[in-house]
Amino acid sequence: MKAIIFVLVMGLLLMITACSKNVGGADKASDTLDDTGTSSWQTITATEARNIMKETNHFILLDVRTEAEFRESRIEGALLIPYDEIRGRANAELPDKNTVILIYCRSGRRSVSAAADLAALGYTNIYDFGGINNWPYETISE
């Protein structure tokens, strides 16, 4: 009986591990797969985000923090849409679903939520580079 329970528990753990989404960390790029197995967004480093900004002519730099956080410090050229407003504002403010979107927040938690929401809305080129706390480059403030 113990052997059967052990096998069932191990099988359940393997299923959970295999089905979990990989949202990566701030140190390494990684694909995140949606329910169909297609890439929905990528987690990249701040350096990779900066390189995309230098090498890509058309991209949106999306800050998903609060307005107060945005006024205090932000990356130049960023568009503010707080993460909890993404679903309601994305279609109007981000009309091209194929545009490269670079997302950040303060520490990386809200940017993951915003990336997932954008992917669910059909956006295809989403890059989450975590938080401004890990951004080693210049920022601006009001």
The parts of the chain modelled with pLDDT lower than 50 are 3-31, 37
What's the pLDDT score for residue 142? 86
What's the pLDDT score for residue 29? 38
Query: Could you report the per-residue pLDDT of 37-74, keeping only the tens digit for each?
Result: 455 899 999 999 999 999 999 999 999 999 999 999 99
Set out the domains of the chain in order of their start, with CATH numbers: 22-134 (3.40.250.10)
Q: Output the DSSP codes for 99-129.
A: SEEEEEESSSHHHHHHHHHHHHTT--EEEEE
